Amino acid sequence: MRATDHQDMDAFIRGVDTAKDAGHAGLLATIFSTRTLGLTGQLKQEQQADYLSGLLIGHELRGLNEVLAREQADLAGKVLRLIGNDALCERYRHALARFGCHDARTVAHATERGLHRIALQAGLIQPSAGRI
């Protein structure tokens, strides 16, 4: 792998789709495809990190979809809220779309608000007139 500042969304989506369509193969069975695709010239060194990121997120979402299936549900059409930095949440939005979920929005300032609420409930700070 070669580090780069440029994100390759096509490589990322390829990883998501590989995980999504892996059948019974789990993460360990597909993770080595990153190296194999690189060795065979099907994936450039600069694309491997994004592909691997897609594999990881894709397997996570596939696992979630399998849990939902036990409840006769799936990710398609779900309304989800994401907590994290903008770049990571954007990746999740793209990956979720591959699973049919097109309504996933980032919750702004979730970390700050959550920590503030914890500090209040723990008595570490006093309520103030201003709110985060």
Give the closest residue to 56 by CA, choosing from 22, 81, 79, 107. Answer: 22
Range list of H helices, 2-132: 9-20, 27-31, 33-39, 48-69, 86-98, 110-121
Which residues, in sequence order, are bridge partners of residue 80? 104
pLDDT of residue 25: 85
Per-residue pLDDT reduced to its tens digit, 37-80: 999 999 999 999 999 999 999 999 999 999 999 999 999 999 99
- How far is residue 92's CA from residue 111's CA, in Å, rounded to a whole number? 18
Domain total in the chain: 1
CATH code, 57: 3.30.420.310
Percent residues over pLDDT 90 in the chain: 83
The yes-or-no verdict on residue 132 having pLDDT over 60 is no
Domain membership of residue 127 (yes or no) is no
Domain membership of residue 45 (yes or no) is yes
State the pLDDT confidence band at 26, using cuts at 50, 70 and 90.
Answer: confident
State the pLDDT confidence band at 116, using cuts at 50, 70 and 90.
Answer: very high
